[in-house]
Amino acid sequence: MRPRLIGNGSLAPRIPREFAALIAALQLKGGNVEALLELTEREWKSLLQFCEPAHLTLLLSQVETYAFPLWVRERLGKNRADAFLRFERTKTTYQEIAAALDCAGVEHIVLKGFTQTPEFVEDARLRMQSDIDLYFPKETISQARTVLESIGYKSDSSCANKVADHLPVMIRRGNWQRKGNFFDPEMPLGIELHFCLWNESVSFIPLPEVDHFWDRRVIRKLEGMSFPTLNSVDHLGYLALHILRGLFLRDWVVHHVHELAMFLHRHANDDEFWEEWKRSHSSALRELQCIAFFHAMAWFCCDVHEEARKTLQQISPDIQEWLRRFTGSSLEGMFRKNLDSAWLHTALVQTPEKKRAIKQAFLPRQIPRIGAPAVRLKNRQQKRSRISNSYLMYIVYLTSRFAAHLSAVLATLYRGFGWWLSPQRPRKRPGSLRFFLEYTLTIFKG
């Protein structure tokens, strides 16, 4: 199955022109900045504002040319300079934490962040990192939290998330005050203590073999640091599963998908790596990873090794048809809500009970309280409001949120029905259409 390329417009997700221009520039084959050079000043401001919460600013800085407006080049230059200084803080922070954990005899693995260098990201200084992610076996994670508390870190309960794979983020704030700079070198890093590498309670998909990633951990060195992390095959698997989890939860995964595309492109002819991948991971685990691979191919036009392509062909026709129809949905979801990933999730879980549990995707997520920062956010960006009364602002927020959610539910049911009846899917088993109708009805039941 060969993906149609979003960068060339054939999948045409409904995204703003400036974001489509950035995606075109980030293609690993055939990328160009022509569309970026046509942006107006207003579009440039919109793109730069959007890139910060999407973790794309430093990627944009790497495709910068002298044809960009001067003020854009100056802003990106400032972001790069701050990011370089911030990486020094990241190293110092991690080394202090690692020393405390080693002293207490608590073993860990570093996830994401600077471990993405150099296979997924060329330079750790040019990757946005606001947190340090550490994984601990469940039996030692409480001890790890105690160790961090002993050196001044405190849990931030306001950041608690019911579907998170980690404890509430731990922060040592000091006297730092937020000034609106995403790359502020003085901004303290949060520490996330992960208790699992794959959360079955969220995904409803059992993957016990992921627990063996811990047994295959390795020691790596980077920029004067020595740290334990996943081996190269498990690292790829973890990132692909992290992207899949992000699809289920409708999170923003575009920067992770670009990193995945970089790895796949660089290893497209690495026969030895892909043989190890095939030996180390079961066919079921490899097929789940290939869902993320398909997104990388479609969004960023990367090459992929033949072994990965073969595995992609083995994915069930249901999933293949979802990929053909909805690979652009996650990009579009950053600007207008959709729930298309619920159909992917439904097709992957094994039992009717678990399929019905996914109806939570069709229900509004936790509603913030009056005055909460989320009330003033749109697409993860602070929005200005002419309404000064907090109660009236909250009513407007709830009305807008409900209308957007209802629109997304209705549109998703319509598109899901088309996917379910697609002639590209195999002959349906008896009762499958009935199940679809019963499933949609459960959405509206308490």
Q: What is the DSSP letter of 166?
A: B
On the question of pLDDT at 99 being above 60, the answer is: yes
323 or 441: which carries more pLDDT confidence? 323
Cα Rg of the chain (Å, integer): 22
pLDDT at 3: 58
Question: What mean pLDDT comes out for the span 48-72?
Answer: 94
Q: How many CA atoms lie within 13 A of 248 on its CB side?
A: 28
Q: How does residue 318 score in pLDDT terms, banded at 50, 70 and 90?
A: confident
Residue 89 domain-assigned?
Answer: no
Residue 430 domain-assigned?
Answer: yes
Percent of the chain with pLDDT over 90: 65
On the question of pLDDT at 307 being above 70, the answer is: yes
On the question of pLDDT at 434 being above 60, the answer is: no
Residue 425 domain-assigned?
Answer: yes
Q: How does residue 233 score in pLDDT terms, banded at 50, 70 and 90?
A: very high
Residue 180 domain-assigned?
Answer: no
Residue 232 DSSP SS3: helix
Question: What mean pLDDT comes out for the span 119-138?
Answer: 95
**251 vs 67: CA distance, rounded Å:** 33
Residue 297 domain-assigned?
Answer: no
**Which alpha helices (H) appear in 135-253, and where do they start and end?**
141-150, 200-203, 232-249
Question: What mean pLDDT comes out for the span 187-192?
Answer: 94
Residue 373 domain-assigned?
Answer: yes
Check: CB of residue 335 under 8 Å from CB of residue 14. Answer: yes
Q: How many CB atoms lie within 10 A of CB 392?
A: 11
Mean pLDDT (the chain, rounded): 85
Q: How does residue 446 score in pLDDT terms, banded at 50, 70 and 90?
A: very low
pLDDT at 244: 97
Report the alpha-carbon angle 423-429-432, nearest 5: 85
Residue 140 domain-assigned?
Answer: no
Phi, psi dihedral angles at 127 (to 5 degrees):
-130, 125
On the question of pLDDT at 386 being above 60, the answer is: no
> What range defines the domain where residue 395 resides?
335-446
CA of 12: how far to CAs of 259, 286, 326, 327, in Å?
A: 22, 28, 11, 10
Residue 396 domain-assigned?
Answer: yes
Highest mean pLDDT: which of 121-130, 231-240, 309-318, 382-391? 231-240
pTM (2 d.p.) = 0.87
Question: What mean pLDDT comes out for the span 2-13?
Answer: 51
Q: How does residue 320 score in pLDDT terms, banded at 50, 70 and 90?
A: very high
The domain total for the chain is 1
pLDDT at 25: 96
Question: What mean pLDDT comes out for the span 193-221?
Answer: 95
Q: How does residue 8 score in pLDDT terms, banded at 50, 70 and 90?
A: very low
Q: What is the DSSP letter of 427?
A: P
